[in-house]
Structure 1
């Protein structure tokens, strides 16, 4: 399934009544920067979805769940309803981070059973630089009926990840930078390294040098060495930048792909979980 669409695809459809546009711009370094940028200007009709307030739950007191805990699905469903999303709505998501943030919403919608959701290639800065319409107006949305149909097979539990690490029952893919995977540096989490048994496929390698997404054939070539008959579990630091790798794998024809939502920051919250460094 090709979930990546061009800016011109969006431009040609942006005023169609069944199309919903979600702005997911967010900066981990400046958590309010995305919302501020949205308030300044955005694609007409777009609704803002904040990574930490809309697409994640609050950090858990016991320290588990990762840095961006899995959101409460009913709260997200209610936000979608208030924003005018129905089960029949076509949804386009975008950000300005190569799809890193928007892919989180893409995955959550797929998990909620909404299949017609697309990531806009290149992102907002390219849209604006192309001279396409922008506005500072926030749209008035008419609430709609949206019923989640959870696809539990898309989500990997901690126990499944432990089993994959110990027994090789599933292929583990670490989506972070190679230096973090190796354990040479860790700028965010308190422990460096990776889940034993995982291989490293940095999510940004799904992009061309100009920031556009690679073609279907190029993505298929990138993952040609991976087994299509084995289940794949993808993780990153906190379950965000793993999502573009899930999207890319799906685009390349892999249909047995799960997300470990808590990812590395959840894994290391359990002292009994082993940690590996260096190449596998």
Structure 2
């Protein structure tokens, strides 16, 4: 055998390195059928809005590939290696799993590099992605979760998908005085104080007459499209859910709230809200959808049923009675027989429902989380929390997911715990406790 010179060996090594680099930059492709045959995973690297169903162009396809996971390249800066590892474990990905990516070239490369750094070597591209419209999946009501660029185009009077059919307005929702709103807000947005829709002592919704007056004050009729956002998503969701109850037909929220608008670098303005011309008539009875709220007796009647779920959107420490979650709510525990619908680390967080950028987590993930506690889409499902904010966010997500019979138990733990005769549970327990 001839001896290879050092220069020749070096050239061979450089060539192999170059080929390896090229392979990393341009991975081989697989079709959806091929990746399914390998029991692999498909990952959509686009923003969650496009994964959920918003088309990227006016005439583009809508939705994501069957069973695709969403790992947006835009999240990478907010995901530590540990968080990425948890995400992969949750979705049963191992270093041996075949993975096919689709999205823009830049996004695919960013995700591929991060996955390979984490030890995933079988990463390729999905060659037939988004080419067969009939097989794509989407949120049944993706339009109820708008994204910043869509709203900006609407404001610019450009044609958009799922445009409002009539008058529309943007409102920022927050508790108390508009201190953050005054510093910076979405151009043209009004401001609504959550105290206008709920009141003490239990922070339940205000009377129907007060709701009607509130809607008139903000110039909202039953046929006005209202787009709500908040510094906290659940503040906007609280107002949105109550407006739907009142009878406003088309209420949407900015997915991810103010942060997504700010992160997108879109225009902002400061100062007080512009004068609003009040609406002389709502144009329909109030409430228009009374079934969207249940009272304490109705909530009690939903316990221990297979065709209904009373769902706690509270943190695990609240659910198990370690804390009440609120300084002004003294009793600890949970409604006996309620099912745990997850929430977040404490009473002010909803991480279990959020992507790293604060947008809604995938519908498949949320449905799987709920299914563990026998919370099913065909049931009558009523969400509650301490006073209604987190429950309203879960309600808005379930509605976007197409769940048809969802409502909010407005009184929540605050009202329930104020009646000593109501059954209460504490301690660690599982789904069997709600049968």
Q: Normalization by structure 2: what TM-score?
A: 0.57
Corresponding position: 1:182 with 2:317? no
String of CA shifts for 1:226-245, please: whole Å, max 9, x gaps. Answer: 33332112110011210011
String of CA shifts for 1:98-125, please: whole Å, max 9, x gaps. Answer: x111101111111112221111012213
Give the equivalent residue in structure 1 for 2:210. Answer: 75
User: Retained in 2: the 8 A contact 1:156–1:260?
Assistant: yes
CA RMSD of aligned residues (A): 2.1
For residues 4 and 264 of structure 1, what CA distance do their matches in structure 2 show?
Answer: 28
Deviates more, 1:134-143 or 1:270-279: 134-143
Corresponding position: 1:45 with 2:188? yes
Give the equivalent residue in structure 2 for 1:192. Answer: 332
More strand by share: 2
For the residue of structure 1 that corresponds to 2:407, the secondary structure is strand
For residues 56 and 252 of structure 1, what CA distance do their matches in structure 2 show?
Answer: 26
Where does structure 2 lack aligned partners over 5 or more consecutive residues?
1-140, 158-165, 344-349
Shift of 1:92: 0.5
Q: Which runs of 4+ in 1 moved over 4 A?
A: 166-169
User: Retained in 2: the 8 A contact 1:174–1:236?
Assistant: yes
Shift of 1:15: 5.5
For residues 287 and 415 of structure 2, what CA distance do their matches in structure 1 show?
Answer: 26
Instruction: Kindly indicate whether structure 1 or structure 2 has the higher relative contact order, using CA contacts under 8 Å at least 6 residues apart.
Output: 1
Corresponding position: 1:163 with 2:301? yes
Change (3 A) 1:236 1:36: same
Corresponding position: 1:57 with 2:199? yes
More helix by share: 2
Deviates more, 1:16-25 or 1:183-192: 16-25
Q: Normalization by structure 1: what TM-score?
A: 0.86
Aligned length: 265
String of CA shifts for 1:153-206, please: whole Å, max 9, x gaps. Answer: 111121112222366663111001111101112241211111011121223222
Give the equivalent residue in structure 1 for 2:226. Answer: 91
The equivalent position to 2:169 in structure 1, one of 20, 27, 31, is: 20
User: Retained in 2: the 8 A contact 1:175–1:235?
Assistant: yes
Give the equivalent residue in structure 2 for 1:5. Answer: 146
Where does structure 1 lack aligned partners over 5 or more consecutive residues?
60-65
Give the equivalent residue in structure 2 for 1:211. Answer: 358
For residues 88 and 233 of structure 1, what CA distance do their matches in structure 2 show?
Answer: 26
For residues 25 and 163 of structure 1, what CA distance do their matches in structure 2 show?
Answer: 33
Give the equivalent residue in structure 1 for 2:414. Answer: 265
Shift of 1:76: 2.4
